[in-house]
Amino acid sequence: MWVWFSKLGSPKWFYELSGKWLPWLIAAMVIFMTIGLVWGLVFLPPDYQQGFTSRILIVHVAVAGTSLAFFPLMLVAGIITLVWRMKLADMVAKHAAILGAWFSFITLATGSLWGSVMWGTWWEWTDSRLVSMLFQLFLLLGVISLRSALEDSETAAKACALLSIVGCINVVIIKYSVEWWNTLHQVASPVSLDPSSPNGPQFWIATLIMIVAVYLFLSVSLILSTRNEILERERRSQWVQDLVLKN
Amino acid sequence: MAEKQTTTSAAFIATLKRDLLIAFKKKNDIVNPFMFFIIVVSLFPIGISPESDRLTEIAAGVIWISVLLASMLSMDNLYRSDYEDGSLEQLLLSPHPLFFLVLAKNISHWLVSGLPVVLVSPILAYMLALPTEAYGTLVLSLLLGTPIMSLVGSIAVALTVGLGSRGLILAVITLPMSVPVLIFGTLAVQSTLNSQSPVGYLSLMLVMLSVSVSLAPLASAAALKISVN
């Protein structure tokens, strides 16, 4: 276990291993993404209440669910960075913050698109999920801007790790306090996002496939950007130079 | 600071005294954020509406947001001068738990920047036409909320202390984190205005305060160790 764990910290080992995984992950992602998107956006019957607009939810729910995974991921990476000083964890955390910000943004954008049809407005402060996602985006942007402000990469790694841990705790508090704030102003959102109740099973199976596809997409993009980061940070080491010469 | 066998509580009090003394010697650092607070509050009626009905509605939110912005300004010099003259390194090298020394610095910072704002808030509440019965809740919520902001903000200040020009990055990191305090602070005042009991919200703020007193100095201490190599 510990041998495996300390091996994982070595960028070279990760680079080689992820190189073997990548083709399979990409293949799985393409398959799931194609099935999910074609089924969800072309064949899925219109919802009895929402019409064809419900198809947006296929993408929206998958992206939203995935974007909740970023702060826990950064929390784990942050603890590993602070406790074991693992360089790899910081490289993953760096790109998780950037990807997380994009995912949060896409969640807000697809949610607004859906809301513009269903609620008649692009933005609704009384929906607690919308508001807490906005603040998750702000917190992630804070982590990104802290990293870009700190020049020394080791200080930046530890500082961002600490901020991610604090941010993860904060995101949970913000989520619940925003919910509290809303339930007092408005009883419930006009339409429930719960896919199982008003919609048939084909809807949530399509959503489930899409969730798997988006998680695979997340893994592939995270691995690809981490591999780039490894090559950049380890550019002075022998194995990277060998690799470059070979290709 | 070179006494040999000091107890931790003596070190705590010494740090507190030293910081208060420095704060009173450099009055600009206290007065400017305070003036900023009062000026921002007075700009709202001019920008939005001078009608007292509308002001009553926004009064609590205006005061709370102005407090947040002012605390961003005053927070900036929490560790900076100590970092520049090297006394922060002395603090890190001290044999006493950094937790208590950081807590002492946070308390002294709150005494000179948070407390004046709390004390002056009834006057500003009057100017914003807040009904008299809500004054007590407003003061209590600020009394509970401003130390939370000092404690949580201190983490971000400690993380950015080594940066030359940071002004805005501090706000970008800290302001989103102050959402829960803002929500419960304004909800407490609103519920008093609707003649409901604000005790629930105030107790939640008390919970947040006790959690941040026990955890935030730990994070600040870790952040200081990261920033000062």
ipTM of this predicted structure = 0.86
The answer to whether residue B166 neighbours chain A at the CB level (below 8 Å) is: yes
Whether the per-residue pLDDT at B146 is higher than 90: the answer is yes
The pLDDT of residue A189 is 40
Q: What pTM value is reported for the model?
A: 0.87
Residue range A34-44: mean pLDDT, rounded: 84
User: pLDDT tens digit string along A47-68?
Assistant: 666 667 777 888 888 898 899 9
Say how many C-beta atoms besides its own lie within 10 A of residue A236's C-beta: 7
Name the residue among B173, B176, B183 with its Cβ closest to that of A146. B173
Buried b (16+ CB within 10 A) or exposed e, B163-180: beebeebbbbbbbbbbbb
More confident position, B42 or B1? B42
The answer to whether residue B20 neighbours chain A at the CB level (below 8 Å) is: no
Yes or no: say if A96 and A77 are a contact pair by the CB < 8 Å rule. yes
> Domain for residue B3, yes or no?
no
A164: nearest CA partner in chain B:
B173
Domain with B216 in it: 8-227
Phi, psi of B217 (to 5 degrees): -60, -30
Residues of chain A contacting B222 with CB distance shorter than 8 Å: 82, 162
Yes or no: say if B77 and B155 are a contact pair by the CB < 8 Å rule. no
The pLDDT of residue A188 is 39
Residue range A188-206: mean pLDDT, rounded: 56
B167: nearest CA partner in chain A:
A149
The answer to whether residue A173 neighbours chain B at the CB level (below 8 Å) is: yes
Across the A:B interface, residue pairs with CB atoms under 8 Å apart total 69
Residue B178's identity, in one-letter code, is S
The pLDDT of residue B85 is 86
Residue range B104-130: mean pLDDT, rounded: 91
* Half-sphere exposure (Cβ direction) of B85: Cα atoms closer than 13 Å: 6
The answer to whether residue B193 neighbours chain A at the CB level (below 8 Å) is: no
The answer to whether residue A166 neighbours chain B at the CB level (below 8 Å) is: yes
Q: How confident is the model at residue A183 (pLDDT cuts 50, 70, 90)?
A: low
Residues of chain A contacting B180 with CB distance shorter than 8 Å: 173-174, 177
A151: nearest CA partner in chain B:
B163
Rounded to 5°, the CA angle B177-B181-B150 comes to: 70
Distance of CA A122 to the CA centre of its chain: 23
Residue range A166-188: mean pLDDT, rounded: 76
> Hey, are the CB atoms on A170 and B177 less than 8 Å from each other?
yes
* Chosen from B148, B179, B192, B197 to mutate, greatest number of chain A CBs within 10 A: B179
> Hey, are the CB atoms on A146 and B160 less than 8 Å from each other?
yes
Tokens coding A178: 């925003």
The pLDDT of residue A178 is 84
Distance from CA of B3 to the nearest CA of A (A): 32
> Hey, are the CB atoms on B173 and A180 less than 8 Å from each other?
no
The pLDDT of residue B1 is 47
Residues in chain A: 247
Distance from CA of B17 to the nearest CA of A (A): 29
Distance from CA of A127 to the nearest CA of B (A): 15
Helix-strand-coil split of chain B, %, nearest 5: 85, 0, 15
Q: Across chain A, what does the average pLDDT equal?
A: 84
Residue entry with tokens 């680079």: A15
> Domain for residue B2, yes or no?
no
Distance from CA of A141 to the nearest CA of B (A): 8
CA distances from A181 to A108, A122, A146, A185, B57 (A): 20, 20, 29, 7, 16
Whether the per-residue pLDDT at B35 is higher than 70: the answer is yes
Number of structural domains (chain B) is 1
Q: How confident is the model at residue A185 (pLDDT cuts 50, 70, 90)?
A: very low
The pLDDT of residue A199 is 53
The answer to whether residue B156 neighbours chain A at the CB level (below 8 Å) is: yes
Distance from CA of A124 to the nearest CA of B (A): 17
Domain parsing of chain A, residue ranges? 31-187+198-246
Q: How confident is the model at residue B207 (pLDDT cuts 50, 70, 90)?
A: very high
Highest mean pLDDT of the ranges A235-239, B25-29, B215-219? B215-219
Which residue, A65, A44, A67, A43, is CA-closest to A54?
A: A44
> Hey, are the CB atoms on A174 and B176 less than 8 Å from each other?
yes
Whether the per-residue pLDDT at A190 is higher than 70: the answer is no
Tokens coding B151: 């404690």
**Among the ranges given (A78-92, A128-142, A189-203), the one the predictor scored with the smallest mean pLDDT:** A189-203
Q: Across chain B, what does the average pLDDT equal?
A: 88
Whether the per-residue pLDDT at B66 is higher than 60: the answer is yes
Residue range A180-190: mean pLDDT, rounded: 54
The pLDDT of residue A137 is 95
Q: Residue A51 carries which DSSP code?
A: B
Residue A148's identity, in one-letter code, is S
Whether the per-residue pLDDT at A14 is higher than 90: the answer is no
User: pLDDT tens digit string along A108-154?
Assistant: 999 888 888 877 888 887 778 888 899 999 999 999 999 988 888 88
Q: State how far the Cα of A186 lies from the Cα of A193, in Å rounded to an integer.
A: 16
